[in-house]
């Protein structure tokens, strides 16, 4: 999922965003650049979310949706919520090589889905749940050990470029981008679950 030499995300990922949102939304995401003010908003809102949302396993979809829904208006851009697989050193930790029927899975609460979810912002993969999942031991032991050794014993949200993820042995493989309706529904589910 590395950006191309010209700094844009690969065409298959941009196509997923266009299918789930629109061509205009994909172009807005593709062209968006975080400035200092936007970084401040992003840091403040994500830290607040980590403070008010209790750590809990299997919450990557609802937490990613809540973060995306919270950020879109103040940042003035589309914040894609990506569902897919996560590999560590070439081995699947979440998900598989199979495609994700996101229209079905994320309209039926994702009960039979074994993948992972994250958001994209500028050229960053933003994973709001993996750090806390690793700290609590709610993921496979090799993944927990790697996350804690790479990002520290108190890791919360992880925001890193694709090249930095690869240096850590992590490979995020997008399979589906949630629609706006799915993001809002899952964000509402997060608010209900966490009493926000």
In terms of DSSP bridges, do strands 158-160 and 170-177 run parallel, antiparallel, or are they unpaired?
unpaired
Tell me the whole-structure pTM to 2 decimals: 0.92
Give the pLDDT score at 71: 96
Contacts of 186 (CB under 8 A, 6+ apart): 61, 62, 64, 65, 66, 81, 106, 178
Number of Cβ within 10 Å of residue 146's Cβ equals: 19
Lowest mean pLDDT among 53-57, 118-122, 179-183: 53-57
Q: How far apart are CA 129 and CA 94, in angstroms?
A: 13
Average pLDDT over residues 150-157: 92
Q: In the prediction, which pLDDT does 103 show? A: 87
Q: Is the pLDDT of residue 159 over 90?
A: yes
Two tokens at 106?
């994320």
């Amino acid at each position: 999922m590395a950006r191309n030499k010209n700094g844009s995300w690969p065409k298959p990922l941009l196509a997923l965003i266009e299918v789930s949102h629109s061509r205009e939304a994909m172009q807005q995401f593709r062209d968006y650049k975080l400035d200092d003010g936007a970084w401040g908003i992003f840091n403040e809102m994500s830290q607040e979310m980590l403070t008010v949302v209790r750590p809990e396993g299997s919450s990557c979809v609802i937490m990613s949706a809540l973060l995306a829904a919270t950020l879109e208006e103040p940042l003035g851009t589309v914040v894609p919520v990506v569902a897919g697989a996560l590999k560590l050193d070439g081995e699947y930790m979440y998900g598989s090589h199979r495609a994700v029927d996101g229209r079905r899975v994320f309209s039926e609460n994702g009960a039979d889905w074994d993948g992972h979810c994250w958001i994209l912002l500028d050229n960053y993969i933003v994973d709001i749940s993996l750090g806390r999942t690793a700290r609590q031991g709610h993921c496979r032991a090799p993944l927990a050990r790697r996350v804690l050794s790479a990002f520290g014993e108190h890791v919360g949200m992880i925001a890193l470029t694709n090249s930095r993820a690869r240096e850590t042995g992590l490979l995020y493989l997008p399979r589906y981008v949630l629609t706006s309706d799915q993001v809002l529904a899952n964000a509402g589910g997060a608010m209900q679950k966490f009493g926000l």
